[in-house]
Amino acid sequence: MKKLIHTLLAGSLLTTCLATTSAVNAMTVSPQNWWAGMQNSSLQIMLHETEIAKQQWYLESYPGVELKSITKTDNANYAFINLEISPNAKPGKLLFKNRAGDQFEYPLLTRDKQSAERQGFDSGDTIYLINPDRFANGDSSNDTVQGMAEAASPSERGGRHGGDIQGIINALPYLDELGVTQLWLTPPLENNMASYSYHGYAITDFYNIDPRMGSNELYHELSAKAKQHGIGLVMDLVLNHFGSEHEWMKDKPTTDWINFNGDFADGKHATSHARQTIQDPHASEFDKRQFSDGWFVSTMPDLNQRQPLLATYLIQNAIWWIEYADLSGIRVDTYSYSDKAFLADWTKAIMVEYPNFNIVGEEWTSNPAIASYWQAGKINNDGYTSSLPSVMDFSLQESLIQALNEDESWNTGWVKVYESLANDFLYPNPDNLLVFADNHDMSRVYTELKQDLAKTKMAMTMLLTTRGIAQMYYGTEVLLDNTGSNDHGDIRIDFPGGFAGQKTNAFTGQGLNSDQVDMQQTITTLLNFRKNSPAIAKGKLTHFSPKQGVYSYARISEQQTVLVFLNKNTTAKTWSLDYMREVLGNHKSATALFNKQKVKLTKPLTLPAMSALVLVIE
């Protein structure tokens, strides 16, 4: 007789062990639990065990829950239980049995009362982007974990350095004081890869936090403690690909689970990165497939989201993490590389479940005609309808760096920023775009601006006061720099003060030079101003064509007007405000944000050389 053992392991992986006198087989269940009272009444549970499909499972009677069917595939090691859960079903434990006498319990949990109405991040937020492995080591005992393929190697640029979730929890008071309102962590999920596993984008378990980062419980604790500081948690999800050491590579749920039959073919099946093929009316089907089905690299196999069982798996996985970790948003890696029909279904399912939620998709293009295709509300020529609320504004990022590095002329300098923002007519909701100066995949803004403090301050002032949702990369506030190397391991540099033996500590200020202190104070002022500024959060943007090396604009709400002047000149400018009368109205004075001095608006201003002036009119 088989003897049943069922338990919840650390990390919340529900595993049912069916023990015999000769062997023990583990059945994995995904997702490991669900919640009563979800908007979507359907649930599909994946079972994985040797020849599980040969077992006949049934559900013991449970009010409001019906086992509709069991889907089997061409792999007998998988079975998919399809349930219908009525709105009246109460939390409890479902009991599944098979005809051999085996059984397992499945938790149906209680939802938080306000879960469905949760508020996602918005244009009043500042999202602080962290590579967890490179931010702070709060628990050195998990730097190397037995059973994980890659051990800690802090001296290697591409190795694991030991940062973890506990380090981020310890840093929450610092982030609160800095003015951060949201945290975006590059994926902390298990990446059990032989090398370069620190970045998080080669996922080998979609339901468990990497043990070198912590645990599911610790991730939940981060979310709860961050909320106590007024900080939300944004999860970085990967829909397009996964890690080649995932069990799916050895035991595919279906033969069509992975694109190109799970074969990279020495690069023949690599993605073309030709994102324009999605909209190109002349594109060949070959080119379309090469973009969407192609792999990034051999260690990141490309998922086939046209497979309906996989599509459901990915939808439920996102919803599970939103509920479990109380997320305030999702960032989707390599958004446009996934099947676009699936993306429409995926975003719609989440937004129906959480109408006030926010999701930002990465579409790495400086062409807003391509990026705007994905934002919800866009009327596209091909009839495609998206439910994605936000996209990343790579156009503005690229334009800002160019503007600050170029000499001023009729078609160079600040005009690049002006023209990028003028293209906002292409977006249904430009206020819901994510704006940023850099991120984990590109050189740091201080590096790109040739280690120029004044230009870096102008860049960050502009991004933190213009329209959109602001995102800042960790360490920008203390001028982290990768000059001399474009290696991702150097871009994702260790945060000063997060690791033992560092002489500089950004958390305490110890060892920071005068430029770093200046930048940290500037960022702190800007971020805390954003927290309480109605003009920045919801105000209309009115900008003026650049002239004489100065770009100026206003953010206007009923309660407040904010004026911004960005002077690239190496000398001070005496600046008449006559051209701004349409935004000044009858206001006679304002307060300078950085020094709190009163400024008269009835006479010309003095714009200091190479500086940003921010004036607040209440």
Is residue 287 scored above 80 in pLDDT? yes
Q: Token pair for residue 351?
A: 């937004």
Confidence of residue 24 (pLDDT cuts 50, 70, 90): very low
Comparing 3-109 with 539-617, is the CATH topology the same? yes
Q: What is the pLDDT of residues 543-594, one digit of tens each?
A: 999 999 999 999 999 999 999 999 999 999 999 999 999 999 999 999 999 9
Q: Token pair for residue 430?
A: 């430009």
Query: Are 134 and 494 spatial neighbours (Cβ–Cβ below 8 Å)?
Result: yes
Is residue 384 scored above 60 in pLDDT? yes
Query: Are 202 and 242 spatial neighbours (Cβ–Cβ below 8 Å)?
Result: yes
Query: Are 418 and 108 spatial neighbours (Cβ–Cβ below 8 Å)?
Result: no
pLDDT at residue 2 in the model: 35
Is residue 238 scored above 50 in pLDDT? yes
pLDDT at residue 25 in the model: 55
Q: Give the catalytic positions in this structure.
A: 333, 362
Q: Distance between CA atoms of 33 and 511, rounded to whole angstroms?
A: 48
Is residue 1 scored above 60 in pLDDT? no
Is residue 22 scored above 90 in pLDDT? no
Query: Are 467 and 425 spatial neighbours (Cβ–Cβ below 8 Å)?
Result: no
The DSSP bridge partners found for residue 589 are: 600
pLDDT at residue 162 in the model: 98
Mean pLDDT confidence for 221-250: 98
For helices 308-325 and 216-228, what crossing angle results, to 10°?
A: 50
Is residue 166 scored above 60 in pLDDT? yes
Thinking of the domain 539-617, which architecture would CATH place it in?
Sandwich (2.60)
CATH number of 3-109: 2.60.40.10
Q: What is the pLDDT of residues 254-264, one digit of tens each?
A: 999 999 999 99
Q: What is the pLDDT of residues 324-333, one digit of tens each?
A: 999 999 999 9
Is residue 476 scored above 60 in pLDDT? yes
CATH number of 126-242+327-532: 3.20.20.80
Q: Which of 493, 479, 371, 481 has its CA nearest to residue 432?
A: 371
Give residue 76's region: left, alpha or beta (phi > 0; psi -120 to 50): alpha
Q: Distance between CA atoms of 263 and 274, rounded to whole angstroms?
A: 20
Q: Domains of the chain: which residue ranges?
A: 3-109, 126-242+327-532, 539-617
Instruction: Kindly report the average pLDDT of the chain as a whole number.
Output: 95
Report in angstroms the alpha-carbon separations of 260 from 73, 303, 469, 522: 19, 9, 37, 50
Q: Which of 497, 494, 505, 496 has its CA nearest to residue 162?
A: 494
Confidence of residue 92 (pLDDT cuts 50, 70, 90): very high
